Amino acid sequence: MESIAERMLPAPRGGGFRMEGYWVWCGSVIRGEDERYHMFASRWPKSLPMHPGWLVASEIVRAVSDTPEGPYTFQEVVLPARGAQYWDGRSTHNPHITKFGDKYLLYYMGSTHPLPDVVAGDGFGLEDPRCIVARSNKRVGLAMANSVFGPWERSDRPILPVRPNRFDSYLTSNPAPCLQEDGSVLLVYKARQYEGNVHGKMTIGAAAADSYRGPYRVLTEEPIFPPDQFHIEDPFIWKTQEGYELLAKDMEGTLCGERHGGIHAISPDGLKWQLSETPKAYSRTVLWDDGTEQTMGNLERPFLLFHDGKPTHLFAAVADGPGGFRNAENTWNMVIPLKP
């Protein structure tokens, strides 16, 4: 079977989703009841630094297109800030849209903090107390709606709280759900643990629920990828006849041969994973439909759009520049069509 990389077609330069005046990230797409394509994405104002501005000011929005390739046009803010008293009251991020029956399910990361709002030019950065508190309050949640247009029912509690003295004692984020035919869910997610008063490196866990409404229970006492071998984030999983497959961002390039490239892994049960025979899923170097190539400063948050059980498009959050969030002048969600 051809790998995702071997199936990539040239990416439309005018496709995807971007917004003037905003950093745009985390594109997740579904075909709505109107037969159009709806992208749920994260945005936050460019008056704040790209990183870590998202931790305190991101909001999930919806954009629409007649075709999977786009361009997508902004429609509305789906999960706005709703007050520091809510677990997701100051930031919503990492959207993953899916559906079961007639119910639209929007998995996401939310956070809050009790400190003053961040404003342009106030020096907000990684060492700011607002950043530190917001990072430690990252949790995975779920919003539901009967229509892709909403209204969205938000819960007063996250579906994946932290667990003291476990690998997810500090935060949970980056939800990657896989809905089964009976409505049960396998949910892969990113976590960090407390190491003293600070957080450790990123790990990947798995949870399950008998129904998408929960409750969700963590399935293993240890991360499902050994942290000393797999330094990855941004998981995306899907079900196959043989088990499960996964795309993720290779943080150091030790798995796929390219720093921040994409890995492809397989699993019989969603808990025991190994790299596929072709471990490199995609590169940060993309071919545009005008014939030019470009190595993106960042290319991550992979999301596959499926039709009749087959992946047809790869969506990714990208940044320009030489690499690294701080060097980006623009970010957007791009789309790469895949050969049948």
Percent of the chain with pLDDT over 90: 97
Contact at 8 Å (CB) between 315 and 303? yes
**Residue from 295, 333, 167, 188 nearest 247 by CA:** 188
> How far apart are alpha carbons 41 and 59 in whole angstroms?
8
pLDDT tens for 125-152 read 999 999 999 999 999 999 999 999 999 9
Would you say residue 1 has pLDDT above 80?
Answer: no
pLDDT tens for 257-309 read 999 999 999 999 999 999 999 999 999 999 999 999 999 999 999 999 999 99
> How far apart are alpha carbons 158 and 216 in whole angstroms?
10
Q: What average pLDDT does the chain have?
A: 97
> How far apart are alpha carbons 2 and 271 in whole angstroms?
24
Would you say residue 38 has pLDDT above 90?
Answer: yes
CB atoms within 10 A of CB 99: 17
Helix (H, G, I), strand (E, B) or coil at 327: helix
pLDDT tens for 182-225 read 999 999 999 999 999 999 999 999 999 999 999 999 999 999 99
Q: What is the pLDDT of residue 9?
A: 98
Q: What is the pLDDT of residue 216?
A: 98
Whether this prediction's pTM lies above 0.95 is answered by yes
pLDDT tens for 69-95 read 999 999 999 999 999 999 999 999 999
Q: What is the pLDDT of residue 247?
A: 98
**Residue from 68, 36, 12 nearest 305 by CA:** 68
